């Protein structure tokens, strides 16, 4: 029997941001159309007939938040019947990492607002977007342990304490500082510079560090097993 199908394809983006002061946050938009008018949701929308999934998610992010993402990875597909009251919609979801500092948010198209929300204080979300965020956070926690994607969330040069704090925040558990530094420095792609951090209070400033991406990819080709 021939399949009867009337399915639409959409994309949704979970964009995580991080600052030392605020911790981990997620980028949300307030919907200005039904369904779920005035509710907060993930940026996203239907894929156009003539575009790829990757182009669609980048377009939706730019249209609804004015944010462009350097690191964006496909996460999971959500297709439970009834997840969208208008149509049968399968959403191919993505997650990305950015530094919120310096980004200017501007809501357009069907988004009334765009804002960052701390992961500890997220509002109730439209559709099944809470489930999507949970899945994205699980992926982030897993991946940051075996691939150095966390450097997307740090400045180009950073005190080592900021790297420790980032991992403790994302993994939601304390970090053994001595073992963490010993373990991560042995890989050779974290470089200690001669530059000193700027302290806001009295104290001895430590050196800044940087991530040598070329060195990491060289080691990865050699079969490096990075795991924290």
185/162 Cα distance (integer angstroms): 14
In three-state secondary structure terms, 215 is helix
Q: What is the pLDDT of residue 14?
A: 98
When pLDDT is averaged across residues 135-156 and rounded to a whole number, the result is 91
Domain 154-221, classified CATH 3.40.50.450, yes or no = no
Confidence of residue 198 (pLDDT cuts 50, 70, 90): confident
Average pLDDT over residues 27-36: 96
pLDDT value, residue 151: 87
Average pLDDT, rounded, for the chain? 92
Q: 6-10, 68-72, 190-194 — which is least confidently predicted?
A: 68-72
Residues of the chain with pLDDT > 90: what percent? Answer: 72
**Strands 88-98, 7-19: parallel, antiparallel or unpaired by DSSP?**
parallel
59 torsion bin: left (phi>0), alpha (psi -120 to 50), beta (else): alpha
Q: Could you tell me which residue, 220 or 105, shows the higher pLDDT?
A: 105
CA 91 to chain centre: 17
Quote the pLDDT of residue 199: 67
Residue 66: left if φ>0, alpha if ψ -120 to 50, beta else—which one?
A: left
Rounded mean pLDDT, 183-210: 85
Distance CA 85, CA 88 (A): 8
Helix (H, G, I), strand (E, B) or coil at 110: coil
Q: How many CB atoms lie within 10 A of CB 49?
A: 6
pLDDT digits (tens, 9 = 90+) for 76-120: 999 999 999 999 999 999 999 999 987 899 998 889 999 999 999
Stated pTM of the model: 0.91
Q: Is the pLDDT of residue 201 over 70?
A: no
Annotated catalytic residue within 22, 73, 106, 113: 113
**pLDDT value of residue 136:** 98
Domain ranges of the chain: 8-146, 154-221
d(CA 170, CA 133): 14
Q: Which residue has the higher pLDDT, 121 or 228?
A: 121
Q: What is the mean pLDDT of residues 133-148?
A: 94
Note if 227 is an active site residue.
no
Rounded (5°) CA angle 23-28-32: 155
> 196-200 long-range contacts, Cβ below 8 Å, gap at least 24?
197/159
In the chain, what is the greatest distance between 2 CA atoms, to the nearest angstrom? 77
CB 26 within 8 A of CB 116: yes
- Yes or no: say if 10 and 89 are a contact pair by the CB < 8 Å rule: yes
Rounded to whole angstroms, the Cα distance separating 117 from 153 reads 16
Q: Let me know if domain 8-146 sits in CATH 3.90.79.10.
A: yes
pLDDT of the residue at 73: 94
- If one compares 31 and 201, the residue with the highest pLDDT of the two is 31
pLDDT at 17 over 80: yes
**Is pLDDT above 90 for 221?**
no
């Amino acid at each position: 029997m021939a399949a009867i199908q009337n399915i639409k394809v959409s994309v949704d983006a979970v964009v995580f941001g991080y600052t030392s002061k605020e911790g981990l946050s997620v980028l949300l938009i307030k919907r200005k159309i039904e369904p779920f008018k005035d509710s907060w949701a993930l940026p996203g929308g239907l894929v156009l007939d003539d575009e790829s999934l990757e182009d669609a998610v980048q377009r939706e992010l730019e249209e609804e938040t004015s944010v462009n993402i350097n690191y964006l990875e496909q996460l999971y597909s959500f297709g439970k019947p009834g997840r969208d009251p208008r149509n049968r919609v399968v959403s191919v979801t993505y997650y990305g990492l950015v530094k919120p500092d310096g980004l200017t948010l501007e809501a357009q198209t069907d988004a009334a607002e765009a804002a960052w929300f701390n992961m500890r204080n997220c509002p109730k979300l439209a559709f099944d977007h809470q489930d999507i965020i949970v899945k994205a956070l699980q992926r982030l926690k897993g991946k940051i342990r075996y691939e150095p994607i966390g450097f997307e969330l740090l400045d180009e040069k950073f005190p080592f304490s900021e790297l420790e704090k980032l991992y403790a925040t994302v993994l939601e558990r304390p970090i053994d500082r001595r073992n963490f530094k010993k373990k991560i420095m042995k890989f050779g792609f974290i470089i200690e510079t001669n530059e000193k951090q700027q302290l806001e209070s009295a104290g001895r400033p430590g050196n800044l560090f940087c991530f040598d991406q070329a060195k990491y990819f060289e080691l990865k080709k050699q079969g490096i097993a990075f795991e924290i």
